[in-house]
Every structure is written in C-alpha cells, then in structure tokens.
C-alpha cells in the first residue's frame, strides 16, 4: 500500500539557475531539502549573531549592575534568546536569504546546506 520510495523513485538534487529558482519556488515547481544543522551554523555566521549578542549581553549586565535593572534585564534576555530564535528558525531564514541574494543561494548549494529538487 504505502511503501517507502526507493532511491530510484525519489528525484535527485539538480542545479537550478538563480533566476529560475526565484521564479519557480513561489509557483511550487521545486522541493527544497535543508540540512538543519548546517543551516544553523551558516545563518549564525552569515548574520554575525555572536558579534551582536555578546555586546548586547555585556551592556545589559553592566546596566543591571550599575543600577538600571529595568533596562539591563531585557537586554540580557534579548542577547540570550537570540541564539535560540536563530536555531529554531534557521531554515526559514536561510530560505529568505537565498531568495533575495544569489550569493547566499550559491553558497548554500555549494556547502550542501540546501538541495533543490523538481516537485513531483
């Protein structure tokens, strides 16, 4: 009845030019497979999350210790939650970046973060 597809039945990854990818993805012509672990690492590196969150954490801690806890504590929370938000939504962020920047699209294909297949 519902037998799993064999490797011969599943479509293989293909190279799709960037303009065709941008036009065909909203139309549903392609199926994307994202490696979540690599996507998290790539998005964190691409958006410079560590370089943004560490100063936010530092400023928040300093303000809290200096006597401004109502300003400092939200900054500490933002700095701490930034990594978790990026981790949870890395695939969506990568897709958004790939749709709007051809360099990101080509890097995602090259580093095997993203696979494009024709929809069946």
| Domain extent listing, the chain | 25-118
Q: pLDDT exceeding 90 applies to what percent of the chain?
A: 77
**3-class DSSP assignment, residue 47:** coil
Rounded to an integer, what distance in angstroms lies between the CA atom of residue 108 and that of residue 119?
19
Q: Are 33 and 114 in contact (CB under 8 A)?
A: yes
Residue 1's pLDDT band, with cuts at 50, 70 and 90, is very low
Report yes or no on whether pTM surpasses 0.75.
yes
Residue 66 half-sphere exposure toward CB, CA atoms < 13 A = 9
Residue 91's pLDDT band, with cuts at 50, 70 and 90, is very high
pLDDT tens for each residue of 7-57: 556 667 888 899 999 999 888 899 999 999 999 999 999 999 999 999 999
Q: Could you tell me which residues come within 8 angstroms of residue 109 by beta carbon, excluding any fewer than 6 positions away?
A: 15, 115, 116
Strand partners, 92: none
> Does the structure show a pLDDT above 80 at 5?
no
């Amino acid at each position: 009845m519902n037998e799993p597809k064999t490797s011969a039945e599943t479509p293989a990854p293909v190279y799709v030019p960037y303009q065709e990818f941008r036009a065909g993805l909203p139309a549903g012509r392609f199926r994307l497979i994202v490696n979540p672990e690599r996507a998290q690492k790539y998005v964190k590196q691409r958006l410079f999350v560590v370089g943004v969150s560490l100063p936010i954490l530092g400023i928040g801690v300093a303000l809290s210790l200096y006597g401004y806890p109502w300003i400092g504590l939200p900054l500490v929370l933002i700095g701490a939650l930034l990594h978790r938000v990026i981790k949870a939504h890395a695939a969506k962020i990568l897709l958004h970046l790939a749709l709007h920047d051809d360099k990101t699209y080509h890097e995602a294909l090259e580093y095997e973060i993203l696979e494009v297949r024709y929809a069946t």
